[in-house]
Amino acid sequence: MVFYGTFIVVCYLIVALVTPMLVYGGFLPKPNEGLTNPIFAHPSFQHWCGTDRLGRDVCARTLEGSGVALQVVFLAVTLAVFIGVPLGILSGYIGGLIDRVLVLLMETLYTVPVLLLSVVLAFLLGRGILNAALALCIVYVPQYFRVVRNQTAQVKVELYIDAAKTLGASSIWIMRKYLLRNVVTSVPVLLTLNAADAVLVLGGLGFLGLGLPEYIPEWGSDMNLALAAVPTGVWWTALYPGLAMFILVLGLSMLGEGLESWFSRDKD
């Protein structure tokens, strides 16, 4: 399962890297260039996936959307890891008032449904790639915090931690040397599963008109624009962005589940 998930994700990475070169090299139409194209043109050799209501090439926008989705998701989960993991270690190791305040804050955020919280944050931050990544980042920080804090609380009572304290090791050195090494093994699994979820949430934000500006190719917003045309038989404007989103989520989910099975087998 790890192999198939990795294969799908790598294919998307290749598409994200190659598509700009194909578009600006003239091999694919530009994603926002549609004034001279017929609207709702059927898939053909000229437009492989047809055109949308503005005459824009659906294939170009779908392929370009791969890079946009990966960029936003990468920023979101990376920021969530770099915020949630240190806070989880600090809270689990230090305890006391800091722990209670952080737990209260993170549990409050965690109880709010992911899509609802991301909608509120996206509305407050505004539309844009960085703002969408920040909104998703805040949504996923509590998950890393909870997992890492619980693991830190279990590890900090080990004898080698007490021995390090006895030898005069500082708290920062213990957290960096011992705790981080022991709790970081669960992060790759959570990261890939969160990435899969983030693709769906980003698509949901785009569908609601709260994700990225319309001129940026994004699967959710393109599906929203295609919604009114589907009952009239224009199926291609919604099919290809939805299929691209589904396959990427499938690949990330397979990768996450495979990594979880792999780490579980190693522990046994």
How confident is residue 266, by pLDDT bands cut at 50, 70 and 90?
Answer: low
In whole angstroms, give the CA distance from residue 137 to residue 74: 10
pLDDT at 18 over 70: yes
CATH class label, 2-30+47-267:
mainly alpha
pLDDT of residue 264: 67
Q: What percent of the chain has pLDDT over 90?
A: 49
Model pLDDT, residue 118:
92
Q: What amino acid occupies position 211? A: G
Residue 35 binned pLDDT confidence (cut-offs 50, 70, 90): low
Q: What is the pLDDT of residue 219?
A: 94
47: left (phi over 0), alpha (psi -120 to 50) or beta: beta
Pick the most confident of 35-39, 167-171, 197-201, 212-216: 197-201
Q: What was the pLDDT predicted at 67? A: 93
pLDDT of res. 210: 87
Q: Which of 47, 66, 63 is nearest to 55 (CA)?
A: 47
pLDDT on residue 168: 81
Mean pLDDT of the chain: 88
Q: What is the pLDDT of residue 2?
A: 83
Q: Assess whether pLDDT exceeds 70 at residue 169.
A: yes
Length of the chain: 268
Share of the chain above pLDDT 70, in %: 96
Least confident segment among 33-37, 74-78, 205-209, 237-241: 33-37
pLDDT per residue as tens digits for the range 82-102: 999 999 999 999 888 999 999
Three-state SS annotation for 202-240: HHHHHHCCCCCCCCCCCHHHHHHHHCCCHHHCCCHHHHH
Q: Which of 14-18, 134-138, 224-228, 242-246 has the weakest average pLDDT?
A: 224-228
Whether the pLDDT of residue 193 is over 80: the answer is: yes
